[in-house]
Amino acid sequence: MHDQLIPAAKPLIGDEEVAAVERVLRSGMLAQGAEVAAFEEEFAAQFLRGRTTVAVNSGTSGQLLGLIAAGVGPGDEVIVPSFTFAAVANSVVLAGATPVFADIEPVHFTLDPEHVRALVTPRTKGVMPVHLYGHPFLVDGIEEVAAAHGLAIFEDAAQAHGASWRGRPAGTIGSFAMFSLYPTKNMTAIEGGMVACADEGTARRVRLLRNQGMETQYANEIVGYNNRMSEVHAAVGRVQLRKVAAWTAQRQRNAAVLDAALDGIDGLTVPRVAEGAEHVYHQYTVRIAEGERDRVREALREEHGVGTGVYYPIPNHRLPSLTRYAQGVELPETERAAAEVLSIPVHPSLTDGELDRVVSGLTATMSAGG
């Protein structure tokens, strides 16, 4: 037994974040203002080649407002993966539309373009692919299907700050994209989201929806929400923005160590990176075949002090909240992934000793199996 469990994820908060919070709290300017505006601009400059961004109070809010701004509503269908966090399908339902669940491809666990094509109907308004684990979805295939059928791409970049596909940054592919700033994501604002918009019309609608439909105070143009980001959250996000590139590089170095040590182990598949893809390793997710995953997970925790995650154990189409949208749906690769994936620590605060323990623990646990 180890007394110190290596956590599966760990937010990094330093003195700079604490100082930024204190500075904003003492300023007395707390509600959405100059910090939020600066955060939006800096985020766009760093990740999005200057695309217009709108900061909101969560990634999920960003997804919902983006969909409404795109005109998605009752009677529309949006094709989504089932193998992802429930926020994706939830945002479609909350917009009043119908999520249609598509299967994933087995290599990167992202939406399978051919299955998306098979699910298109006259009601399909768009497709919402996810850059899962920080690996870009198969952009060429999804864009081809979207173009062929006149679908919009609503990009879920919640886990993909800094990822790219053939040099195109995650967040610049869809008609809008959403980033999450939740504590376990590659960077955080404690809670928060960023919507990246392809055009000014979308950006303006998201801005209105974020703040009761107002651009000018008390001249409400449309019915909107209160999904604003606070100055305190933006100040934390701005500090994290200055650190995230180094953290991503460290995630990638950690992943290279894991690849070198784990590739070739019987019964285990390391994550593959598609040609032209920049993977930012929000998670380092291996596949463990044939019913062994849960034993491996347990042994890693109990015998080696290594925390792991399963993202995601129950596919969305089988969640009690969403089964009504999934009558008769069968997604074999989604089911297989849900039973086989295991995310092991890759976060930038791992020490060399901890990384060694992850490798030796997993190696020992795999050879102890059948």
Ligand X SMILES: *Cc1c(COP(=O)(O)O)cnc(C)c1O
Residues that bind ligand X (CB under 6 A): 58-60, 84-85, 87-88, 130, 156, 158-159, 180, 182, 193
Minimum Å gap between C-beta 122 and ligand X is 27
Residues 238/241/246/248 CA torsion (nearest 10 deg) = 140
Minimum Å gap between C-beta 94 and ligand X is 12
Beta carbon nearer to ligand X, 159 or 202: 159
Q: Which residue is nearest to ligand X (CB)?
A: 59
CA distances from 365 to 268, 305, 326, 356, 360 (A): 11, 12, 37, 14, 8
CA distances from 92 to 88, 148, 206, 237 (A): 7, 22, 16, 27
Beta carbon nearer to ligand X, 193 or 345: 193
Residue whose pair of structure tokens reads 């956590």 in the numeric block: 7
Class of residue 77 by CB neighbours under 10 A (exposed 0-12, middle 13-18, buried 19+): buried
Minimum Å gap between C-beta 186 and ligand X is 11
Minimum Å gap between C-beta 85 and ligand X is 4
Beta carbon nearer to ligand X, 84 or 230: 84
Q: How many CB atoms lie within 10 A of CB 347?
A: 23
Minimum Å gap between C-beta 195 and ligand X is 11
Minimum Å gap between C-beta 278 and ligand X is 18
Beta carbon nearer to ligand X, 158 or 341: 158
Residue whose pair of structure tokens reads 């143009």 in the numeric block: 221
Beta carbon nearer to ligand X, 87 or 337: 87
Beta carbon nearer to ligand X, 185 or 357: 185
My answer on whether omega of the bond before 312 falls inside 30° of 0, hence cis, is yes
Q: What is the DSSP letter of 324?
A: G
The three-class DSSP label of residue 190 is coil
Minimum Å gap between C-beta 352 and ligand X is 28
Distance CA 40, CA 53 (A): 6
Minimum Å gap between C-beta 264 and ligand X is 30
Q: Which of 117, 118, 137 is nearest to 129 (CA)?
A: 137
Decide if 159 contacts 131 (C-beta within 8 A). Answer: yes
Beta carbon nearer to ligand X, 171 or 361: 171
Distance CA 105, CA 108 (A): 7
Q: How many CB atoms lie within 10 A of CB 320?
A: 7
Q: What is the DSSP letter of 185?
A: S
CA distances from 299 to 305, 311, 361, 370 (A): 9, 18, 8, 14
Beta carbon nearer to ligand X, 92 or 355: 92
